[in-house]
Amino acid sequence: MSPRRPAVLSIAGSDPSGGAGIQTDLKTFTALGADGMAVITMLTAQSPQAGVQAIHVPPSNFLEQQLHTLFDDNENCAVDAIKIGALGNAANVRAVSDALRRWKPTKNVVLDPVIVATAGGQALLETEAMKLLLDELLPICAVWTPNLPEAAKLLGTEQANDEAEMLKQCHELGKFGAKAVLLKGGHLTKSDQSTDILSKLDGADEFFRAKRLNVNAKIAHGTGCRLSSAMAVYLARGHTVTEAVQYAKSFVEQQIGYS
């Protein structure tokens, strides 16, 4: 009998262009041999060229109903990992946090704290929801993956301009309680290489450096979603956080190369 395919759940927003959000998460799960499930937090009108034009966040009780229905059916809908993306508002942050604490479906939780849309710059997380995300959701996550603008927003400081500042901010982000933080340095455009820093509770820091790729908006759209959802798949397969980052980054680089 062949081994069971890992089951991975995405809790995120919908992107009608298919380049980010739930749609690209499910594509990533399939590409990596995992069975995907999805709970939708918000609807968007967006495209790589136009950016995010409009957002609709359904009432949080509908999000709760999606989560409760799924987690109640553990026999058919057990999950091996969860990727969390855009949540929109404080009520949704609390709904997800409460559901994960109540059912404890898996320890493999990857949070991509989508605060501002890369395409268009529109806010995807209300300001009052940020503190709740840090206080209630982060402590139950295995790893989270902020980029430099998100890190600056969460820390209330200027965006890092070099690796030294990145490392300092990465350590500050690590104090919020997740077991590990991957600070993505793709916005550090002064260098010809892109650096991501992984900092873990045990104090170990790891640098992931790669040559910066010049890609257009369509190809760049959703790369953060692909990375975090790929990490969730590799955690579901039993890999360490470091291995999950390594393999996920390789997967995303290959996807960009095929585009």
The 10s digit of each residue's pLDDT in 126-136 is 788 999 999 99
Does residue 1 lie within any of the structural domains?
A: no
pLDDT (tens digit, 9 = 90+) per residue, 150-203? 999 999 999 999 999 999 999 999 999 999 999 998 777 676 778 999 999 887
Phi, psi of 141 (to 5 degrees): -100, 145
CB-count exposure of residue 242 (10 Å: 0-12, 13-18, 19+): middle
pLDDT at residue 1 above 80? no
pLDDT at residue 65 above 50? yes
User: How many domains does the structure of the chain reveal?
Assistant: 1
Give the pTM: 0.93
What's the CA gap between 108 and 180, in Å, rounded? Answer: 12
Does residue 228 lie within any of the structural domains?
A: yes
Does residue 29 lie within any of the structural domains?
A: yes
Does residue 151 lie within any of the structural domains?
A: yes
193-202 b/e (C-beta count within 10 Å ≥ 16 → b): ebbbbbbbee
Of 127 and 76, which is predicted with more confidence? 76
Does residue 185 lie within any of the structural domains?
A: yes
Q: How far is CA 53 from CA 44, 201, 237, in A?
A: 7, 38, 37
Give the CATH number for residue 222.
3.40.1190.20
DSSP bridge partners of 38: 10
Residue 168's domain comprises 7-258
What's the CA gap between 176 and 184, in Å, rounded? Answer: 17
pLDDT (tens digit, 9 = 90+) per residue, 16-62? 999 999 999 999 999 999 999 999 999 999 988 888 899 999 999 99
